[in-house]
Amino acid sequence: MQLTWSHAVLNIKDEASMLDFYTKTLGFSISDRGPIAEKGPDIIFLSQTHDEHHQLAFVTTRKAEDPPSALNHIAFRVQSFEDLQNLKTRLEAVEKDFLPLSHGNTLSLYFADPEGNGLEVFWDTPWHVSQPSGIVWDSNLDETAALAWVEATFNQDAEFALREDAQGKFVNRTP
């Protein structure tokens, strides 16, 4: 059985700021919403694709005094380097701090939503690199320069290989 990521549900405090950020900055659309149960809190479903009812949902149950979530981050893949650069531009437009981090196998942008939930948006590079690995990259590079940087930075890794050549080597590893 192969499991694939489906969605995440976040308990939120400020519906307006969260919806504004996720719809306007990240490009999600509300696909559905309503009370979980009679007189229960609302659940708001969001998606970026017509074939997934929801990739993300918000439940409006957190109170201002509640501690932050135990969630580390939610990760989303984009299909092109241009998509990643467009997100960078959107984050800069709303003055959202982000950390550009490369794991060798990805070029990622890490940032937080308005309630402090961690997000990662990444683009796959053509390489496999042993993990964990992470080095800050210059998000102002163009695609060609960014890929050249990744290759030069990570090519000394013992497992550095083209992704298709590494397929299967990291599945079912024993500790």
Q: Give the chain's domains with CATH numbers.
A: 1-61 (3.10.180.10), 71-175 (3.30.720.110)
Confidence of residue 130 (pLDDT cuts 50, 70, 90): confident
Residue with tokens 């800050």: 136
Q: Which of 110, 7, 120, 18 lies closest to 62, judged by CA? A: 18
The pLDDT of 28-55, averaged and rounded, is 89
β pairing state of 8-11 and 56-59: parallel
Structure tokens given for 171: 């599945």
Q: Looking at this protein, which amino acid is placed at residue 152?
A: A
Mean pLDDT of the chain: 88
User: What pTM was estimated for this model as a whole?
Assistant: 0.80
Q: By the 8 A CB rule, do 131 and 103 touch?
A: yes
* The pLDDT of residue 144 is above 50: yes
21 DSSP assignment? I
Strand partners, 101: 108, 136
Q: Looking at this protein, which amino acid is placed at residue 146?
A: A
Burial 87-103 (b: 16+ CB within 10 A, else e): bbeebeeeebebebbbb
What span, in angstroms and rounded, lies between the C-alpha atoms of 146 and 133? 17
Q: Which of 23, 21, 25 lies closest to 88, judged by CA? A: 25
Per residue in 10-20, pLDDT (tens digit) is 989 899 999 99
